[in-house]
Amino acid sequence: MAKKKLIETTGQEPITRPTMLEQVWGYNDLSRYGTKDVSVYREQLTEMNRSDLESHARRLNIPVVETTDRLKKNLIQAFESYVAALDKPAPMITKIAPSAKMAKEAEKILSEGR
């Protein structure tokens, strides 16, 4: 009788390390639509038939509607909002000058660790 080699497992998923910057950041600007240019995306949509449009909409979690024109309009709206979210400017950070009282309290607390 041959012995089987048993492998011990912890049930945890293996830890993988990202190999590309897109994986590090968690997204790729082009991964969802393949472009950020609306005219290029419109051209891609015109080349798709109805079944391709439906599968594309399902992949993007966009509800499939009966008319092809309305489906294309919904896809373009979703594309434009996605691109706008990617190109959203960073929020402005304003520095607040600490009050003299807070600065003295912080200095006191920090000096205790010396």
- To the nearest 10 degrees (0 to 180), the angle between helices 38-47 and 68-86 is 150
> Using CB atoms within 10 A of its CB, is residue 75 exposed (0-12), middle (13-18) or buried (19+)?
buried
- Outline where 1-114 has alpha helix (H): 21-25, 38-47, 50-59, 68-86, 100-111
pLDDT given for residue 19 in this prediction: 46
What is the model's pTM? 0.55
88: pLDDT strictly greater than 70: no
The domain locations on the chain are 34-86
Please give the CATH architecture assigned to the domain spanning 34-86.
Answer: Orthogonal Bundle (1.10)
Using pLDDT thresholds of 50, 70 and 90, give the confidence band for residue 20: very low
Mean of pLDDT values over 10-36: 61
pLDDT given for residue 63 in this prediction: 92
Percent of the chain whose pLDDT exceeds 70: 60
